[in-house]
Structure 1
Amino acid sequence: MTGAARRRRSSRLLVVAALAAVVALIGTACSDGHHDVRQNAPYGWPMYGGNAANANFTYSQVPDDLQLIWNREVGGAITAPLAINGSGDVAGVAKTASGCNLNVFDQRAGRKNYCKRLGEGSPLNTPLFDQIGQPYIGEAGMFFAFNGGGAIRWRYPTYGVPLSAKFAAPGRVLVATTQGQVLLLNAQTGDLAAPEALLRPDTNADARAGLADCTVGGPACAIAAPPALDLGTHRTFLTFFPKGARSSQVKAMTYTDGAITDLWTADIGGGVMGPPTVSADGKTVYSFGRDGKLYALDAATGAVRWSHDVGGHGFATLSVSPDGTLVPAGALGAPLTILRDKGTRVEVVARRDDVQTAGLGTQTSAGTLWAVTRDGESLALTEFSTADGATKRTLPLPGAKGFSTGVAVSAWGSIAVGTSNGAVFFFYRPF
């Protein structure tokens, strides 16, 4: 890029920033202020699964000249997906022996904006960000709201480890914990917006109790995965293991200010693995069974619409597009499989046995899937067509090993990937 081109681009960015500031000022001046101060999710990838539904889908346009901008080690394994806040900065938690484990990296060069040391259980979490860049995240026994610089705004004590939180409505955060506590909190103050729901009577003063069972979906972990929400109906869907039960269930609840209420439970496949995912229209909940099948449930009743053998639950997560295209995250090295929900049945769109996947992918509105693949021990970020599974482009992840925890896509189409060997990779067009 020439010097003149850089100056023109910088001028355009300054104009866009100035216009955005003016629009924000006008919007604030013309409102009553009630909605402006209530925290909500920004565009982009501000939470686990990219949105409240855990859909792992984006409307953002990924640039044609996408390239690796930076990568860096974080000092420990990454086991939960990354988030990207409304400013485009990248955040995640690592399993570090000492020092910081929650990091927020500047998108331009990967430098730390700030970092925090969180306690046990925090590496299970993806941070939740509001529209002004404030993160919400938990550790064993406590859920925190920080400001944009990492200082504590408020905290709420919990039974167990709070899992990746979701915005349930403007100014409301829904939190589920590993010991079966479900909370609806005021995002500004940390006060309860509804009485807590305790789904099991065996809460333990030791917030770490049962934590080892969470990664395998065992009975000592009441809720083993983050919730999925349908914001239109105020429903939340959980992977829940009742006390004394033989297997875990899909559990649906409704929430409003003042009440969190049971809706239905569904037994599937000898137990549930991984988090639920909600379709874009809110009518279907997808969940993996221990029997290696993907299940589609009626979101209003829990009735099974169909099930499909995917050869094992794998990473027990998937990407769901608004048109019903489904891409399950198979086990490490599993072939790429693309499905489509046809209402009462599912069809196989494509299967690539020559591709070895390495984690959860993300679909885009352009009809593509971004996923990490592997060739031997090497990993790469690969774009596929969801119409036929054809490979469109491949970008290496230098030094990456193991698997990816997911593909986060910002509002501008930048991509962040975390890998299990503790590396973060950031892709975009040149700044």
Structure 2
Amino acid sequence: MMKQFFCLLLAVLLLAGCISSRQSGTAYGPGWSAVHADGRNSDCAPFNGPGKITPAWQRKFDGRINLGATTSRDGKVFVTTSGKGCHLYALDARTGETLWCTEEVNRFAVASSALLDREGHIYLADNEAMHAFDGKGALLWETPITGFPLSAQFTQTGRLIFITHIGKVYVLDRKTGQPLIGGWDLSPGNMPDAGFDPVACMKGTEACPCANTLAFDQQNGRFYFTYWKPGTASAALRAMQYTEQPVPTVTMVWENSALPGGSASSPDIAANGSRVYVNDNAGFLYALDAGTGHIIWKYEIGFEPGGSQSTSPDGYIMPAGANGARLLCIKDLGAHAELVWQCDSLHNRGVATQAGGKLAYCTVASGRGRFQNDLVVVNVLTGEILDREPLPGVTIFTVGTTLGPEGNIYVPSFNGALFAFRPD
């Protein structure tokens, strides 16, 4: 019996592909419960992924899908859309059928992915309020806000934290919606208009000052985000500290104004918490010291990524795609980064996602026709293609590949399609 126990324990450890101690014991639900998988924004699944896949089902929604789906341990897939009627859907992971949907959030909810806690509750904002739902879609509470966030995270104390696109920081009690911090201004007296410029928010420019999801370190309560302060020449990466005693407070730790052209890609924290990765809109990826904000290295990827990079616990980084982007992988070697491989024949059309087993799931141009794409499974260490599956129809580009705890892979396209693949 003891031998069987240790074998089981070893199997669990081997499957924990992208999991980090900096995420354990928190409010996050198991699996892919946040927009970028976890509080670190790693875009890396906490379990092994399949090397061979086959289509499972597909759906087409009215309107757009802007971000990847999130998944729960009880077999639900959550997706937000801009179409008429429902803007938050809960789907059956096995079939893609709608289990429930809600009109309680408006079309601005498409700017966020649903955030799931360990009790199975769902948190999603639009441009009017943050909302909480139970696992069956019933509204638990809603709290008015100004502006809209691009997804939320949990604090080290289990609170809900988010920043709206105009730079207002909120911390709410996730059980009641009661504000602990109710719209703290990043630039007091100099806040931009709360209007929405879709192009600015897609690129993280001055008209949409905070155009991404904050990354939160569960070990020390520090969070990181990009912010284009009104009246300044470029966007910056900021680090702030959240504390609850004696009263809930957020304070500035450091700021590095080194992001020319802005950034719409969310920062992500290294697995050991020592550094933060972020892109600019001039074709560079940065690693910054998490304690000081000093640039450790700067690597030219040669294009403006269309989303956030995927980062494994051992420092393999795969940037998101954009027009003219090549599929590539770089490695953080400490004081500098090096190219691991680059495939010029694979044009990256989405957000790469890594999983345990040194596998990545990426969307690339198919070659069949304009705006048609394939999902490829690649070896992170070599770039070898292990499997390739078409995404039927015109998909333009995809917006965030996610993995469910049941082993499925979910690939949404900007024009409202959602494809599910299962292990073959």
Specify the alignment match of 1:47 in structure 2: 34
Contact 1:276 1:287 in 2 (8 A): yes
Give the one of 338, 343, 354 matched to 2:329: 338
Greater Cα radius of gyration, structure 1 or 2 = 1
For 2:271 and 2:190, the matched residues in 1 are separated by 34
Specify the alignment match of 2:13 in structure 1: none
Contact 2:53 2:387 in 1 (8 A): no
SS of structure 2 residue aligned to 1:404 = coil
Q: Equivalences for 1:289-300 in 2 at 5 Å?
A: 289-300=280-291
For 1:208 and 1:102, the matched residues in 2 are separated by 22
For 2:296 and 2:224, the matched residues in 1 are separated by 17
Specify the alignment match of 1:169 in structure 2: 156
For 2:323 and 2:192, the matched residues in 1 are separated by 36
Contact 2:64 2:416 in 1 (8 A): yes
Contact 1:165 1:173 in 2 (8 A): yes
Q: TM-score, normalised by structure 1?
A: 0.86
Relative to structure 1, the CA distance from residue 411 to residue 235 in structure 2 (aligned partners, 3 Å threshold; closer, same or farther) is same
Q: TM-score, normalised by structure 2?
A: 0.87
How far residue 367 of structure 1 moved from its aligned partner, in angstroms, is 0.6
Specify the alignment match of 1:114 in structure 2: 100
Whether 1:380 aligns to 2:374 is: yes
For 1:364 and 1:185, the matched residues in 2 are separated by 32
How far residue 194 of structure 1 moved from its aligned partner, in angstroms, is 4.3
Give the one of 127, 142, 156 matched to 1:155: 142
Q: Deviations over 1:408-427 (max 9, x none)?
A: 11223221110112111112
For 1:203 and 1:103, the matched residues in 2 are separated by 37
For 1:367 and 1:41, the matched residues in 2 are separated by 24
Relative to structure 1, the CA distance from residue 384 to residue 65 in structure 2 (aligned partners, 3 Å threshold; closer, same or farther) is closer
SS of structure 2 residue aligned to 1:214 = helix
Give the one of 189, 195, 198 matched to 1:208: 195
Q: In structure 2, list runs of 5 or more residues that go unmatched.
A: 1-24
Contact 1:333 1:358 in 2 (8 A): no
How far residue 172 of structure 1 moved from its aligned partner, in angstroms, is 1.1
RMSD between aligned residues? 2.1
Whether 1:394 aligns to 2:388 is: yes
For 1:360 and 1:154, the matched residues in 2 are separated by 32
Q: Equivalences for 1:69-84 in 2 at 5 Å?
A: 69-84=56-71
Contact 1:171 1:188 in 2 (8 A): no
Specify the alignment match of 1:100 in structure 2: 86
Q: Deviations over 1:368-416 (max 9, x none)?
A: 1111112133322211011111111112222251111111112232211
Whether 1:365 aligns to 2:356 is: yes
For 1:133 and 1:86, the matched residues in 2 are separated by 8
Q: Deviations over 1:109-132 (max 9, x none)?
A: 111111123224211111101123
How far residue 254 of structure 1 moved from its aligned partner, in angstroms, is 0.8
Relative to structure 1, the CA distance from residue 287 to residue 39 in structure 2 (aligned partners, 3 Å threshold; closer, same or farther) is closer
SS of structure 1 residue aligned to 2:399 = strand
Specify the alignment match of 1:182 in structure 2: 169
SS of structure 1 residue aligned to 2:334 = coil
Contact 1:115 1:150 in 2 (8 A): yes
Query: Once the two structures are aligned, what percentage of the paired residues are identical?
Result: 30
Relative to structure 1, the CA distance from residue 198 to residue 210 in structure 2 (aligned partners, 3 Å threshold; closer, same or farther) is farther
SS of structure 2 residue aligned to 1:81 = coil
Give the one of 403, 407, 412 matched to 2:406: 412
Aligned residue identity for 2:359: T
Aligned residue identity for 2:274: K
For 1:310 and 1:64, the matched residues in 2 are separated by 27
For 1:153 and 1:195, the matched residues in 2 are separated by 19
Q: Deviations over 1:189-225 (max 9, x none)?
A: 1122346521123587974355663223222323111
How far residue 167 of structure 1 moved from its aligned partner, in angstroms, is 1.6
SS of structure 1 residue aligned to 2:48 = coil
Relative to structure 1, the CA distance from residue 357 to residue 72 in structure 2 (aligned partners, 3 Å threshold; closer, same or farther) is same
Specify the alignment match of 1:14 in structure 2: none
Q: In structure 1, list runs of 5 or more residues that go unmatched.
A: 1-37
Whether 1:349 aligns to 2:335 is: no
Specify the alignment match of 1:301 in structure 2: 292
Q: How many residues align?
A: 392
